[in-house]
Structure formats: structure tokens, C-alpha cells
């Protein structure tokens, strides 16, 4: 049980003691801190905030608390109710709102929830803004509105449909081209809002949809992080249904993974590679991903004549780098597609449409497409943090140990070897050290990760 405060938002487990977990009191405190910061930041008399949530079990409770807290501050709320992270992101500017809050713990299990905070562009706050909100929350010097100045609540449950229309209107998405390909696709919505949004989008595009876990009950049928070890059911169903491929999303629909026609993982890292391949083939330009993402994106970008750059982990860092380099597409290797023509946020609806266009134009199978890309294999492991563990000291020691290699310290420590790399960093969303490696074979990637874990334990005296 824990409460984590970071630039990714305020995230914690439901129940337990205030300030140790995400309790109703903590939800009030951080929602109020955001509202007070927003008043100072926007310098406006009357504010409007968009709220949406995934389908997790605690969602309605947290939503009611957050909405009522903002109303108590005199802020008007547009309540999207069941929604997706990218849907809330596009709703903020469309509604000319001053900010937004998404109630979701993303890929975390059902006991978790979180407040993800957006600015007036529908983009995540930067570290400095997040720090100001945390400082306001710590002081707890809240002043709420008097009765005549309370905010109002407007329910609007049409935004998933509006979001789908926005995707259909993208210049590189042609509904008729996709419809003519007569795709059959299995969708695993992990019993959250992806089970609403993705099938609706695919049906609009003329795709035959086979639904798996698409009821938004919040009872996740498997670990909601879209990794191979959690996706046996959809892999089997893709083969059984003789589907062209499968689509898997996390509970808030900002991470996208594909299952190839042979039931194998396309690879979360290759979601961005494939979408970038399609976009760069139509629009010359640059790409950005984070330090923990595959080298394959760099290879594809350079093949199309563009320049690739790496940002620190965290969507806000990738977006900042994308804007600085005028990137035409970017994202994160965990299946997050950021396509600026739509908006600066990870969006599984946009990614699904771009991938369908790529497949419709290329022909062949998804397995053949995957085989056509540079072949890298990743290992993603973690070490659970214990109280008193000096993470910063461990990272410094590891950087020193490999000081003769190419080192980046903009986000933890990344060590680039000639044939592979390892990235060590403290997670923003869980009490762990993440150890990501990439190599030319799975065995090599796993071996490198295990070696580094042993070295970390030796340094830490574990």
C-alpha cells in the first residue's frame, strides 16, 4: 500500500490511512490543490475543468469526490464519466476548458487509482507545475467558495464518439481504404473503457470486431499491463477466429499492443515503429521516443531520411522534445503513440487507425510486417524498493562502473554498448527500480538484465 506523488500525477492504492494511500481525504486534498493552482496559473475569474475516468472499481467514488471538490472551489466541471485518457485530452481544448483531470491508474492493478492532471491544451503538466501543486497540497491552506459562487456540473457522455470522429478526419486516415481491406480484429479491452472506444472505432472503419473482455465492469480479467505473459487469452482467440490481428489496450487506452495473426506478440515496442513507418512514408520529418524505447525507431526514422532523438521517460518529456524537434510522430516504447496532427498525447485510437492504414496499403500479414523490421529484443525487469535503499547512490555507482561506455544521465542511467543497452531508473509510478535492456536476441537481453540486477544488488548490499 502506497501513495506516489510525481510528475505523472498522484497515484496510490485505495483504502488505508490518509497520506499513505489514495484515500477520499487525499483525493480532496490533491483535487483542491490542483484547483487552487489552476486559478493562479490561468488568472481567470471563472474556470472550467474536464473530468473523465476509466472503469476501475474505485473510479465512481473518486470521480464524485474530485468533481465535488472542484465545484466547492467555484470551478465548473464538464463530466465525461467513463472515458479514456486521450479522449479527455482532446476534450479540454475542444471545450475551451482551463484544464482536465483523468481518474485512472493506467496499467496498474485494480487496487490502484490516480489523478492525472492536464493544462489548458489537454497536455500533462511539467515538473515545475507539478511541484507547485504538491506544495499547495502540503500546506493545506484551502479556501473554498461561498454558496452563491459554487461551480456547476455538466454531464457530456458523447466524447468518445467525438474522439472517433477526430480520428476519422485525420489526413492520413482513409475510412474507405481500411473498409476495402476487410479486416477481422480481436479486441481485448481489459473490461475498461477501451472495450467501448476501440470496437466503436473499428466498426466505424468497416472492420469486423471480435470482442474479448470489452464490458467496462472494472474487474480486470488479467494483469492490465499489456505484456506477453498476461495475454494468452487473446493470442489463442486470434488463432481460433483466424483474425488478421489482435488489439490490446490498458485500462485508460493510452497504451496499444498488437497480436500478430499467428498469435505471437507484435511487440509493444514495435507499435510505435509500425505507426512511424506509415507516417514517415507520407510525411517527411523527425521522431522522438524515450530512453527506454527500442533502437528500431531510430533505424526506421533514418531509413525514411529523418532524425531520431531520445527524451527522458515520461510523456511530458517526450512531448517537449517533439515540439523542440518538430517531430511528426513520437511516443513511448510501451505502446504509446503521439501524433501531433491529432494532439500531443498517447492515443490508442489514433495508433489503431494508423496501423490499419499501414496494413491496408502494404498487404500481407502482420507477422510478415513484424519480420520486415529490424529485430531487437527487450527485457523489462524490476527491483522492489525497500525503505532506506539509496537509489541515487546505486545509480551513481553503476554509472561509474561503466564510465568508459556511452552514458546518459538525463533520466536515471542509460548505458549504450555497441550491440545492446541497459537503462536503469527509479519508476515515477511504482516503488521500484526499472531495469530495461535491449539486444539482438531475447536470451542476450535477459542475460544482460540479470547481470545488471546482480551488480545492483552487490552495490546495494542486498
Give catalytic residues, as residue numbers: 106
Distance of alpha carbon 378 from alpha carbon 399, whole angstroms: 21
Distance of alpha carbon 160 from alpha carbon 73, whole angstroms: 28
Q: Which residues contact 27 (CB under 8 A, 6 or more apart)?
A: 62, 65, 66, 69, 115
By C-alpha distance, which of 297, 252, 259, 257 is closest to 278?
297
Distances (CA, A) of 191 to 55, 172, 196: 7, 30, 9
CB 119 within 8 A of CB 125: yes
Q: Which residues contact 49 (CB under 8 A, 6 or more apart)?
A: 35, 38, 70, 75, 76, 77, 78, 97, 98, 99, 100, 101
Grid coordinates given for 145: 467558495
Amino acid at each position: 500500500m502506497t501513495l506516489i506523488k510525481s510528475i505523472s500525477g498522484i497515484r496510490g492504492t485505495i483504502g488505508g490511512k490518509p497520506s499513505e494511500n489514495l484515500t477520499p481525504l487525499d483525493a480532496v486534498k490533491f483535487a483542491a490543490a490542483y484547483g487552487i493552482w489552476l486559478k493562479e496559473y490561468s488568472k481567470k475569474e471563472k474556470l472550467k475543468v474536464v473530468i473523465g475516468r476509466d472503469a476501475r472499481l474505485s473510479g465512481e467514488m473518486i470521480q464524485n469526490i474530485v468533481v465535488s471538490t472542484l465545484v466547492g472551489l467555484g470551478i465548473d466541471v464538464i463530466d465525461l464519466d467513463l472515458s479514456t485518457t486521450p479522449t479527455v485530452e482532446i476534450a479540454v481544448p475542444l471545450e475551451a476548458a482551463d484544464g482536465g483531470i483523468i481518474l485512472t491508474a493506467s496499467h496498474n492493478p485494480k487496487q490502484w487509482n490516480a489523478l492525472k492532471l492536464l493544462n489548458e491544451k489537454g497536455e500533462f503538466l511539467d515538473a515545475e507545475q507539478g511541484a507547485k501543486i504538491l506544495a499547495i497540497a502540503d500546506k493545506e491552506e484551502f479556501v473554498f467558495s461561498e454558496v452563491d459562487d459554487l461551480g456547476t456540473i455538466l454531464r457530456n457522455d458523447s466524447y468518445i464518439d467525438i474522439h472517433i470522429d477526430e480520428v476519422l478526419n485525420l489526413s492520413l486516415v482513409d475510412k474507405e481504404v481500411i473498409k476495402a481491406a476487410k479486416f477481422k480484429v480481436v479486441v481485448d479491452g481489459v473490461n475498461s473503457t477501451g472495450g467501448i472506444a476501440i470496437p466503436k472505432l473499428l466498426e466505424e472503419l468497416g472492420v469486423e470486431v471480435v470482442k474479448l473482455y470489452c464490458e467496462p465492469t472494472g474487474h480486470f480479467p488479467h494483469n492490465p499491463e499489456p505484456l506477453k505473459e498476461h495475454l494468452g487469452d487473446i493470442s489463442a482467440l486470434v488463432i481460433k477466429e483466424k483474425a488478421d490481428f489482435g488489439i490490446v489496450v490498458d485500462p485508460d487506452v493510452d497504451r496499444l499492443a498488437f497480436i500478430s495473426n499467428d498469435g505471437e506478440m507484435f511487440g509493444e515496442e514495435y507499435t510505435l515503429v509500425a505507426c512511424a513507418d506509415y507516417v514517415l512514408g507520407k510525411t517527411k520529418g523527425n521522431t522522438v521516443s524515450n530512453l527506454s524505447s527500442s533502437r528500431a525507431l531510430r533505424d526506421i526514422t533514418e531509413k525514411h531520411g529523418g532524425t531520431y532523438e531520445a527524451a527522458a521517460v515520461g510523456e511530458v518529456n517526450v512531448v517537449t522534445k517533439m515540439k523542440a524537434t518538430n517531430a511528426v510522430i513520437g511516443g513511448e516504447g510501451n505502446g504509446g503513440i503521439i501524433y501531433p496532427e491529432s494532439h500531443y498525447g498517447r492515443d490508442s485510437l489514433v495508433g489503431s487507425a494508423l496501423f490499419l492504414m499501414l496494413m491496408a496499403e502494404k498487404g500481407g500479414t502482420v507477422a510478415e510486417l513484424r519480420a520486415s523490421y529490424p529485430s531487437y529484443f527487450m527485457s523489462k525487469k524490476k527491483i522492489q524498493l525497500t525503505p532506506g535503499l539509496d537509489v541515487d547512490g546505486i545509480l551513481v555507482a553503476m554509472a561509474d562502473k561503466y564510465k568508459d561506455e556511452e552514458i546518459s544521465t538525463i533520466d536515471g542511467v542509460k548505458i549504450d554498448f555497441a550491440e545492446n543497452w541497459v537503462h536503469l531508473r527509479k519508476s515515477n509510478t511504482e516503488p521500484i527500480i526499472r531495469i530495461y535492456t535491449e539486444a539482438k536476441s531475447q536470451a542476450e537481453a535477459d542475460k544482460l538484465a540479470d547481470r545488471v540486477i546482480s551488480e545492483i544488488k552487490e552495490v546495494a548490499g542486498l
